[in-house]
């Protein structure tokens, strides 16, 4: 696997913005995280050959899919890429086994029965898509993709239209299915939990441009930019005024805070995750009072909105419906993220 790589460097003029993405994937699953309409699906469609970029190149190992300078543009059928659409795109007039057999040689019944077993579809072989649940449809679509042995699997918001219970179930199933897959996979999502669960590496896309590119843990722990912090779920973001190398004033919360990293001149904001506060004494570093806070009880946590505008989430012990907000809270200097606009 170490010498394999998927290279994508493409540009395309779109109505709202110009898409300009450049990345290399050497192993595992890459996540493309971003708001709706930022160019995520367009990137996948370009890799699959459904859409043509204006310029650039796409290659898998030594095989060139697209190269505008050499006028190479392989048809989708020649790219050996599996695309899992949001609605699964199963053929409605074909049974489960017929759908799975679509990309397989006519006399290769072994692969079809192997996929039926692997995706727990025994007993459903003769059913049509309309007779299947959302989860079963997803399994059939994945089985169909894997049956013809693709080099790359593209997953386009595969859970977007599902209720929470089904989503959790299918996330697990998809994670298990991809475990044994020896190629590359790319998951497009606007859901940070999905990105975190599935992806070894993460790209954050905004208006067609990559604004972050690193290992998934790194992007979540050190988002570097305000928009990346927002997209990875940071609820507390404030503009700042620098006092010295390690002290700043938060303009939105009215607090003076100490941070662990040096505040460079390009830092304009800070971010604090909602779970990163803890009980404090008045004189602790970065402590502040909690007077006039508002508390909401959620099924599994308490959500506290502080008078200064900060938002705190505190995990709840099941069965305990009483919670007293401590008089003072603090945030560890290590948990304050320094951000650029």
Angle at 61 between CA 213 and CA 69, to 5 degrees: 85
The gap from C-alpha 101 to its chain's centroid, in whole angstroms, comes to 31
| Alpha-helix residue ranges (DSSP H) falling in the chain | 40-48, 96-100, 109-118, 134-147, 164-179, 192-198, 216-221, 226-231
Pick from 64-78, 250-264, 308-322: least confident: 308-322
Q: Which two tokens stand for residue 149?
A: 């042995």
CA gap 86, 78 in Å, rounded: 22
In the predicted structure, residue 334 carries a pLDDT above the cut 90: yes
**Per-residue pLDDT at 2:** 46
User: What is the CB neighbour count within 10 angstroms for residue 109?
Assistant: 12
CB 10 within 8 A of CB 46: yes
Strands 81-84 and 152-156: parallel
Per-residue pLDDT reduced to its tens digit, 52-85: 999 999 999 989 999 999 999 999 989 999 998 8
Percent of the chain whose predicted confidence (pLDDT) is above 70? 97
**In this predicted model, which residue has the larger pLDDT, 178 or 18?**
18
Residue 291: half-sphere exposure toward Cβ, Cα within 13 Å: 3
Please report, for residues 23, 168, 258, 299, 312, the alpha-carbon distance to residue 325 in angstroms, rounded to integers and kept in the order given. 46, 32, 23, 17, 10
Q: Span 180-197, mean pLDDT?
A: 88
Per-residue pLDDT reduced to its tens digit, 93-118: 999 999 999 878 777 778 899 889 88
Mean predicted lDDT score pLDDT of the chain: 91
The gap from C-alpha 331 to its chain's centroid, in whole angstroms, comes to 27
CB 74 within 8 A of CB 52: no
Q: What is the pTM of this model?
A: 0.85
């Amino acid at each position: 696997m170490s010498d394999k790589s998927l290279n994508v460097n493409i540009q395309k003029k779109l109505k709202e913005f110009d898409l300009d993405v450049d990345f290399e994937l050497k192993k595992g699953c890459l996540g493309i995280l971003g708001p709706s309409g930022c160019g995520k699906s367009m990137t996948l469609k370009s890799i699959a050959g459904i859409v043509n970029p204006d310029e650039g190149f796409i290659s898998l190992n030594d095989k060139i899919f697209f190269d505008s300078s050499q006028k190479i543009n392989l048809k989708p059928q020649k790219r050996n890429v599996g695309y899992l659409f949001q609605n699964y795109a199963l053929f409605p007039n074909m049974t489960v086994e017929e759908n799975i057999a679509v990309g397989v040689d006519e006399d290769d019944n072994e692969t079809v029965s192997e996929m039926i077993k692997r995706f727990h579809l025994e007993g459903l072989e003769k059913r049509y898509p309309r007779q299947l649940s959302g989860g079963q449809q997803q399994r059939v679509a994945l089985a169909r993709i894997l049956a013809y042995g693709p080099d790359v699997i593209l997953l386009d918001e595969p859970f977007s239209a599902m209720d929470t219970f089904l989503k959790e179930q299918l996330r697990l199933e998809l994670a298990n299915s991809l475990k044994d897959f020896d190629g590359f996979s790319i998951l497009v999502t606007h859901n940070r939990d999905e990105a975190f669960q599935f992806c070894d590496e993460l790209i954050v896309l905004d208006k067609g441009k990559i604004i972050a590119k690193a290992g998934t843990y790194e992007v979540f722990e050190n988002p570097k930019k305000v928009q990346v912090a927002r997209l990875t779920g940071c609820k507390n973001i404030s503009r700042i005024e620098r006092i010295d190398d390690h002290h700043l004033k938060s303009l939105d919360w009215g607090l003076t805070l100490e941070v662990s990293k040096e505040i460079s001149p390009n830092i304009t904001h800070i971010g604090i995750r909602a779970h990163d506060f803890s009980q404090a004494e008045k004189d602790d570093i970065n402590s502040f009072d909690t007077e006039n806070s508002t508390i909401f009880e959620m099924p599994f946590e308490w959500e506290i909105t502080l008078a200064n505008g900060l938002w705190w989430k505190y995990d709840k012990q099941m069965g305990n419906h009483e919670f007293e907000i401590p008089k003072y809270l603090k945030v560890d200097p290590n948990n304050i993220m320094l951000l650029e606009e």
